[in-house]
Amino acid sequence: MSTVISLSDARLGDRGVITRVKPGGTDAHAAELERRLLELGLIEGARVQLLHNGLFGRDPMALQVDDMRVALRRHEAANLTVELFAEAAE
């Protein structure tokens, strides 16, 4: 059994696989954001884990993305969908 959430709703320690990278909207801004996320390795199939949260509003978030670490604001993380690993598998 698996749960699909928006990365912006992730909680500390959550692990999963990115299933969708799609910024809302169809304007140039959304297209640019999508490419930037991809170039930083935030891409479908990448394994992510939420490592740390910032102090205020749990923002920004520090993620493990495959074998590197990336800092991201929750505002941008809302464009990513993650399928969480089942707890039992952990």
Among 7, 10, 18, 37, binds another protein (CB under 8 A): 37
Q: Which residue, 3 or 38, has its beta carbon nearer to another protein? A: 38
Instruction: Let me know if 6 is exposed, middle or buried by CB neighbors in 10 A (0-12, 13-18, 19+).
Output: middle
Q: Checking phi first, is residue 62 left (phi over 0); if not, alpha (psi -120 to 50) or beta?
A: beta
Among 67, 87, 88, 89, binds another protein (CB under 8 A): 67
Residue length of the chain: 90
Decide if residue 55 touches another protein (CB under 8 A).
Answer: yes
- Given a contact cutoff of 8 angstroms between Cβ atoms, the answer to whether 60 and 79 are in contact is no
Decide if residue 69 touches another protein (CB under 8 A).
Answer: yes
Enumerate binding residues for another protein (CB under 8 A): 31, 33-45, 51-57, 59-60, 62, 66-73, 75-76
